[in-house]
């Protein structure tokens, strides 16, 4: 049996390594919807004071007709049960694919879920013959900024439709 040793506070915890796997699902798949709802519940309060600005634009909205692919990462536990733990979607933004709604359940951060989502998303963009993958994140998500920078994404000028959101951080990864 393979065992990962995780450090949790001051106590070492040993647990069997759970299998991660990524599935492409429909945008409206129940697991995808549940993860997006969890993301909104976590991230929404960070921007509550900007609700008036956000209500004036649909810049951050995702029109289902523009979604190219939606990914959900599942973790299989020792009993064989599958749990949806991460989400990412790709939407067309002009000639580019844009990474949207990337979210990892808080209990599963730091376990490879974000790497699996980025790998699936980048491979999907490569499969389309695209030279890059773009994304936008807000200024109150420093954890996301660190992840993207660590994963080889570089800052780029703000691209449409985010010009109306002055707190946008925009990135690309050359593929």
Give the CATH number for residue 130.
3.40.630.30
Question: What's residue 58's pLDDT?
Answer: 62
Mean pLDDT for the stretch of residues 6-27: 63
Please count the residues of the chain: 175
For 78, list phi and psi in degrees, rounded to 5. Answer: -60, -25
User: Distance (Å, rounded) from C-alpha 153 to C-alpha 134?
Assistant: 9
Strands 168-174 and 11-16: unpaired
Q: Which residues pair with 8 in a beta bridge?
A: 11
Domain assignment of residue 166, yes or no = yes
Question: What's residue 9's pLDDT?
Answer: 35
Domain assignment of residue 148, yes or no = yes
Q: What is the pLDDT of residues 133-158, one digit of tens each?
A: 999 999 999 999 999 999 999 999 99
User: Distance (Å, rounded) from C-alpha 104 to C-alpha 108?
Assistant: 7
- The percent of residues in the chain predicted with pLDDT above 70, rounded, is 85
Domain assignment of residue 41, yes or no = yes
Domain assignment of residue 147, yes or no = yes
Domain around 96: 18-174
Residue 149 or 48, more confident: 149
Distance of CA 170 to the CA centre of its chain: 14
Question: What's residue 7's pLDDT?
Answer: 36
Question: What's residue 56's pLDDT?
Answer: 59
Mean pLDDT for the stretch of residues 90-106: 97
Q: Is 60 exposed, middle or buried (0-12, 13-18, 19+ CB in 10 A)?
A: middle
Say whether pLDDT at 164 is over 90: no
Structural domains of the chain, count: 1
């Amino acid at each position: 049996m393979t065992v990962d040793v995780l450090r949790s506070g001051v106590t070492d915890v040993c647990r069997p390594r759970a299998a991660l796997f990524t599935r492409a699902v429909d945008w409206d798949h129940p697991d995808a919807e549940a993860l997006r709802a969890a993301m909104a519940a976590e991230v929404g309060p960070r921007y509550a004071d900007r609700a008036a600005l956000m209500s004036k634009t649909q810049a951050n909205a995702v029109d289902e007709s523009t979604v190219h692919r939606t990914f959900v990462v599942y973790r299989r536990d020792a009993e064989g049960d599958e749990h949806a733990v991460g989400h990412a979607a790709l939407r067309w933004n002009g000639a580019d694919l844009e990474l949207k709604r990337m979210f990892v359940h808080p209990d599963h951060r730091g376990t490879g879920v974000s790497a699996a989502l980025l790998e699936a998303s980048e491979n999907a963009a490569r499969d389309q013959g695209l030279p890059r993958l773009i994304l936008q994140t807000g200024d109150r998500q420093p954890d996301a900024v660190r992840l993207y920078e660590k994963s080889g994404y570089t800052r780029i000028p703000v691209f449409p439709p985010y010009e109306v959101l002055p707190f946008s951080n925009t990135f690309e990864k050359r593929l």
